[in-house]
Amino acid sequence: EPEVTQTPSHQVTQMGQEVILRCVPISNHLYFYWYRQILGQKVEFLVSFYNNEISEKSEIFDDQFSVERPDGSNFTLKIRSTKLEDSAMYFCAALRGGHTGELFFGEGSRLTVL
């Protein structure tokens, strides 16, 4: 069973629509991350989340993005009004074993904005 599960695996949406990507860790992870990979490009950091609040975010993570962990289990990334350039693979990652531990990635959610 994977350490981190992401849903959906692929979502197609119209520009301007809201999208929610979900991440479920299975172990006692404390730190959570979202990364983005535009097709053919490198993996970019979006945001880190610790103790139910954002600990760091990149310049990519603007007001269109938000994260939360509403039920203590699911970790979600919301994009309020999607743009064409939001089309990418979104990876959730969780750090187990404290801030020096191993980082486990989910299988990714592919977002296609039309």
Partner 1 sequence: AQTVTQSQPEMSVQEAETVTLSCTYDTSESDYYLFWYKQPPSRQMILVIRQEAYKQQNATENRFSVNFQKAAKSFSLKISDSQLGDAAMYFCAYRSSNFGNEKLTFGTGTRLTIIP
Residue 34 vs 71, nearer CB to partner 1: 34
- Decide: helix, strand or coil at residue 87: coil
Q: Which is nearer to partner 1, 55 or 81 (CB)?
A: 55
Using the contact rule CB under 8 A, the part of the chain among 21-29, 61-69, 71-79, 90-98 near partner 1 is: 90-98
Judge contact between 99 and 44, C-beta under 8 A. no
- 99 lies in the site for partner 1, by CB under 8 A: yes
85: which 2 tokens? 């350039």
Distances (CA, A) of 31 to 19, 41, 54, 56, 75: 22, 25, 10, 11, 10
Q: Which of 21, 25, 48, 113 binds partner 1 (CB under 8 A)?
A: 48
Options 23, 35, 86, 113; binder of partner 1; rule CB under 8 A? 35
From candidates 42, 53, 71, 84, binder to partner 1 by CB under 8 A: 42
Identify the residue among 19, 21, 25, 31 touching partner 1 (CB under 8 A): 31
Q: Which is nearer to partner 1, 16 or 97 (CB)?
A: 97
Strands (E), 38-101: 43-50, 53-57, 65-68, 75-79, 88-96
What is the DSSP secondary-structure string of 44-55? EEEEEEETTEEE
Minimum Å distance from CB 106 to partner 1? 8
